[in-house]
Structure 1
Amino acid sequence: MWGSEGKGTISIVIADLTIVSFFANVFVGSSMSYFASKFKTEEILPFAYLWSILIGILIPVLFSFNHTLEYSNYLIALSVLSSLLAANVNLFVGQQNIKLFNLYTVLQQIVHIVFIIIVVYLIKITSVNSYFLAQISCFGALFLVSTFQVLKHCDFKRISFSKEIGNKLFDYGWKTQLSAFLQFLNNRLSFYFLEYFKGIVSVGVFSVGIAFSEAIWTVSRSLSVVLYADIINNKNSNEAIEKTKISLRVSFLITLLFIVVMLIIPAQLYSMIFGKDFSQTKEIVLFLSPGILAIAVSNIIGYYFAGINKLRILNVKAMIGLIFTAISSFYIIPRWGIRGACVITSISYCLSSGLLFWRFYQITEFRVQDFILSKTEINLLLNKVLKKK
């Protein structure tokens, strides 16, 4: 409906929103999950809510110099509401309530689509603004519902701001978010180089391929969250390593399957679904596929290191990928455009993931079997899918 230009606008605003979320996640991200089992909810949630509001306003105001006033207002609303919702959802992870985490992860997509339909077809706002209005409504509704579920178990008399707890949240949070922010820049820097050298339309085309990559990573990220919740509540290091290896092979094989399926789909089908502007989608996925597979593996290992509070390697891994992306983009994207951005992104993913992979297998024995499901594990997966005991 909005074409490649509209898709490009959405991609840039959502990229800015993601940058805001990295600052917000110092208190509402992994630190919320990590300390949920160590402190009372009433002691950590006030920090998360207050930080969400402050960062959700401050960072978008700084970004307003590069956007129209209209999009800046959308970014402020999206930033505050998405951060508040993230605080609740990550609290569920720390409480090992994976059911609620999964529910809200899925609902963010479904409710957003429902509100888009309402805004476009009932309210009759058909511009790209409808995307942002729908997303604001989605975040707001889910935050209210999740807050009710969180606060009904809280004792309001115990709400407090402890300097000691605040310092611990900040110390853990900024270390994990530094790594995540560097990785994000590694993932999205090509957007800004493409916009500068080739225009917003090329960003829209390239972003569809990236969206497919991130859709495939859903399996890896879901496994990672479950693994992370288990590790931070588990004191047995050997058991944690074994569970990490099981998650590794499941993530590797399922991701490989998805990539093969996407490459089998005819290029014409992508054009039929997304429009003639997106005829390069299959080619983009092909170039990105080695990096997609690499990140699917490194996501699992990264959450293992985060779960045992070994964060330095995550920062080094992200920095290596970012440096390669920044330097190579200056030379390759002006010459090769979208194709060059794909090659750079894929190589960067492989380089950064390779370091994490090497570090993990320094502390454990490498086995080819780590990437091959056993008969017992296949049966277990089938039983879970079929809901059999």
Structure 2
Amino acid sequence: MSNSFVKNTIMTLSRQISGILLGLLASIIIARSLGPEGNGLYQLIVLLPTTLMTLLNLGVGTSSVYYVGQKKYDIKDIIKTNTASGAVLSLVAVIIGLIGVMFFSDKFFEGVPPNYLYFILLIMPLLMLNDFYLVIFQGVQDFKSFNSLALLRQLAALISLVLFIFVLQIGLVGTVIAFIVGVVTQFILTLILLNKNLKTNLLSGSFSKAYFKESFSFGFKAHFSNVLSFINYRADIYLISMFLNPAAVGLYGVAVSIAERLWIVSQSISSVLYPAISSSSDVDSKNKLTSVISRNVLFFSIIAGIVFYFASDLIFRLLFGEAYADSSDILKMLLPGIILFSVDRILSNDLAGRGKPELNMYTSIFTVASNIILNILLIPKVGIAGAAISTSVTYSLSTLVKMFLFKRETGVSYSKMLLLQKEDLILFKRLINKAVKRS
């Protein structure tokens, strides 16, 4: 494991921890100030542009990381082409969003005033372009800029949230505007860093037809998988809104936001792993790197999961108040799938980095279908607990399938993927000894 990989991972992990703290503080402010129903409305509002971006980005971001790592095209040409693609795709997203709000808001966004949904659509172009530009820094492995931009977006949103909620006291409107402020801030800072660090801007370079074709050809495989994964993540929110009410969305959303904090390590490592695998030609090194990461991520996720399980009642009552006490049980139901899925994230990025994103796509088709069916069967019968059970089961199934595919592709045994090895224990011992000596 190279020093640069470790350094980038630690840097990304530090940003993730900082981001979690900022995100948690924002979640607490929104949850306490708006209550379960208002919190549910906010989650449904911001879910609209997030869903549209995920459905319509066509894998351009994933392709950008891959082709920047391959050094096949000039970065300036990639940025120029991404700008054109982002402008067109965001326009399509806005049109589809408008149609969706006009005809389906009562079904999927029950209780949400349509004006909020129309307003949030204005941010689609910047949201799309942010994604297309941010991955350029990931592709060149400039993780200082990559992490700073993501963190500053959260910080700007949090500061705005405090202003709108506590000073101006404009409630739900303030939370939506704070979300938009975060997106706009990230866009402006991204343009500055593109010019400063990569010596380029949106006017530099040329539109590359060759890259455009290859990016969509490669990206569509990853895109379809990402769309299915997103549906797997968020179908439960839409179905809870359809079968229940915004208050149920608020209770469930808070539980999910806390449970997904367990992915901090796997998210940090997978962000660094993808470009590292994409740019490496040493198969043995790639196999060893991913297997070491996979089993260690699982080990620490299990430990964190145990802590979350026993501390969940205290977490929700202390941070969110008695109104969210029921979210604790939902968190406990989510934990088995959340823990296992930390391995899925690592294996998915490895397979994509090897140029085989279609394997993730095939898995996602199966798991999404299972998730939707289970949600439709269980939510009407047992409420939000049904959504939690469905999510946990399908996350677990997805991980098991990815493990099988990774073993088939690499020959790495399941034990090396999942169980700590002697070399890991030796490394832990060295780290502990160093820490003791420094103290």
Q: TM-score, normalised by structure 1?
A: 0.92
Alignment counterpart, residue 372 of structure 1, candidates 420, 423, 436: 420
The CA RMSD over aligned residues, in Å, is 2.3
Alignment of 1:337-376 (within 5 A): 337-362=383-408, 363-370=410-417, 371-372=419-420, 374-376=424-426
Deviation of the 1:349 alpha carbon: 0.8
- Are 2:148 and 1:88 aligned? no
Q: TM-score, normalised by structure 2?
A: 0.82
1:292, 1:303 → 2: CA distance? Answer: 17
Per-residue Cα deviation, 1:152-200 (whole angstroms, up to 9, x for no partner): 4127785211221100111122211110111111121111221121212
- Are 2:99 and 1:62 aligned? yes
Mark the CA change 1:24 to 1:90 in structure 2 (over 3 Å): closer, same or farther.
Answer: farther
1:317, 1:91 → 2: CA distance? Answer: 27
Alignment counterpart, residue 239 of structure 2, candidates 193, 213, 231: 193
Per-residue Cα deviation, 1:42-91 (whole angstroms, up to 9, x for no partner): 21112222332333343232333244442233332332222222222210
Q: Which residue is 1:31 aligned to?
A: 63
Deviation of the 1:309 alpha carbon: 1.0
Mark the CA change 1:383 to 1:214 in structure 2 (over 3 Å): closer, same or farther.
Answer: farther
2:52, 2:300 → 1: CA distance? Answer: 31
% identical aligned pairs = 22
Alignment of 1:231-270 (within 5 A): 231-265=277-311, 267-270=313-316
Report the AA paired with residue 40 of structure 1: D
Unaligned runs of at least 5 residues, structure 2: 1-32, 106-112
Alignment of 1:33-182 (within 5 A): 33-36=65-68, 37-59=71-93, 60-65=97-102, 66-67=104-105, 68-122=113-167, 124-152=168-196, 153-154=199-200, 159-182=205-228
Per-residue Cα deviation, 1:278-297 (whole angstroms, up to 9, x for no partner): 11222111111111012100
Moved more, 83-92 or 152-161: 152-161
Mark the CA change 1:158 to 1:17 in structure 2 (over 3 Å): closer, same or farther.
Answer: closer
Alignment of 1:211-222 (within 5 A): 211-222=257-268
Mark the CA change 1:268 to 1:294 in structure 2 (over 3 Å): closer, same or farther.
Answer: closer
1:17, 1:104 → 2: CA distance? Answer: 20
2:291, 2:48 → 1: CA distance? Answer: 34
Does the 8 Å CA contact 2:37/2:247 hold for their aligned counterparts?
Answer: yes
Moved more, 221-230 or 75-84: 75-84
2:352, 2:310 → 1: CA distance? Answer: 36
Does the 8 Å CA contact 2:141/2:275 hold for their aligned counterparts?
Answer: yes
2:394, 2:253 → 1: CA distance? Answer: 17
1:324, 1:299 → 2: CA distance? Answer: 19
Moved more, 145-154 or 67-76: 67-76
2:248, 2:328 → 1: CA distance? Answer: 15
Moved more, 299-308 or 52-61: 52-61
**Higher RCO by CA contacts (8 Å cutoff, separation 6 or greater):** 2
- Are 2:51 and 1:6 aligned? no
Q: Which residue is 2:270 aligned to?
A: 224
Unaligned runs of at least 5 residues, structure 1: none
The number of residues matched between the two structures is 386
1:61, 1:384 → 2: CA distance? Answer: 58
